[in-house]
Amino acid sequence: MLVLAIDTATPAVTTGVVTVTGDGVEVRSSRVEINTRKHAELLMPLVLQACSDAGAALRDMDAFVVGAGPGPFTGLRVGMVTAAALGDALGRPVHGVCTLDAIAADCPTGEPLLVVTDARRREVYWAAYDEAGRRVDGPHVEAPASLTRRAGGYVAAGGMAAVLGRPVVGPESPSPGGLVAVAAEALRAGIIPGPLEPLYLRRPDAVEPTGRKRVTAG
C-alpha cells in the first residue's frame, strides 16, 4: 500500500511517500523544509518532489495520512486542507493522526517519554508516553515552566524538548514514516476514517466584532 504523508503542525513542512507492509512501514521518499511562514507556498512543491523521488504520482497513492496537530492555526490548516483536497479529488481515504504521536513513533521505546512542541505565546504542546510508546496523557497546552516541574523520570523529544532539561532522544518534527506508522494498523485493516478534526487545543486570536464602529461625528 502506497501512502503520502503530510504534516504542517510544526515549523517543519513535512511530506513523503511511504509503503505500508504487513509488518511495518518503508519510507520511499522524504522532503522536509523548516520555514514557519511559508507552509502554504512550500507544501505542494515538496509533495510533488517527494512523489518524483519515489517514482510515483499522486494518483498512485492508496491513502493519505496527515498530522492533525496540535499546532498553530494557520500552519496546521495548510496541511489538513491540502490532504483533504487530495483525498477528495482522487477518491482516497485521508487519515488524521496526532502529530505528537508521530514524533513519539520515531523515538526508541523503553523509557517514559514527553513530546513537546512550540505552541507560541510562551507555551508548549505536550503529550506523555509510556515505555511501550503508548500515549498516556495529553495532548495539552501549558507554560513550559509548570511542565518542567513534572518532567522528572522522562526523556524528551520535539522542537521544545530542550526546555525541560531532560535527555533529548527524538526528532524535533515528525517524519513521513512516523506519521504513517501511527495510522498503519487502520490502513492495513481498511478502516474508513472519519472527518478530519484538527487539534487546536485553544481558541483563535481573532474575535468577532461585538458592534459597529461609529464613523461619523455628531
Tell me how far apart the alpha carbons of residues 69 and 200 are, in angstroms, rounded to a whole number: 7
Which contiguous run of DSSP H or E holds residue 6?
Answer: strand 2-7
Asked whether 144 and 123 are in contact (CB, 8 A), the reply is yes
In CATH terms, are 2-100+173-189 and 108-164 the same topology? yes
CATH class for the region spanning 2-100+173-189: alpha beta
Domain ranges of the chain: 2-100+173-189, 108-164
The pLDDT assigned to 20 comes to 98
Query: What pLDDT digit, counting tens, does each position of 160-198 carry?
Result: 999 999 999 999 999 999 999 999 999 999 999 999 999
- CATH class of residue range 108-164: alpha beta
User: Contact 206/90 with Cβ under 8 angstroms?
Assistant: no
Residues 126, 138 contacting (CB under 8 angstroms): yes
Q: Which amino acid is at 70?
A: P
- Please report, rounded to a whole number, the percentage of residues in the chain having pLDDT higher than 70: 93
What pLDDT does 203 receive? 56
Which residues contact residue 136 at a Cβ distance below 8 angstroms, ignoring those fewer than 6 apart? 128, 129, 130
Q: Which amino acid is at 3?
A: V
pLDDT category, 206, cuts 50, 70, 90? very low
Q: Are residues 196 and 94 in contact, defined by beta-carbon separation less than 8 angstroms?
A: yes
pLDDT in tens, 24-59: 999 999 999 999 899 999 999 999 999 999 999 999
Per-residue pLDDT averaged across 93-98, rounded?
98
Retrieve residue 80's grid coordinates: 489538513
Residue with C-alpha cell 490548516? 77
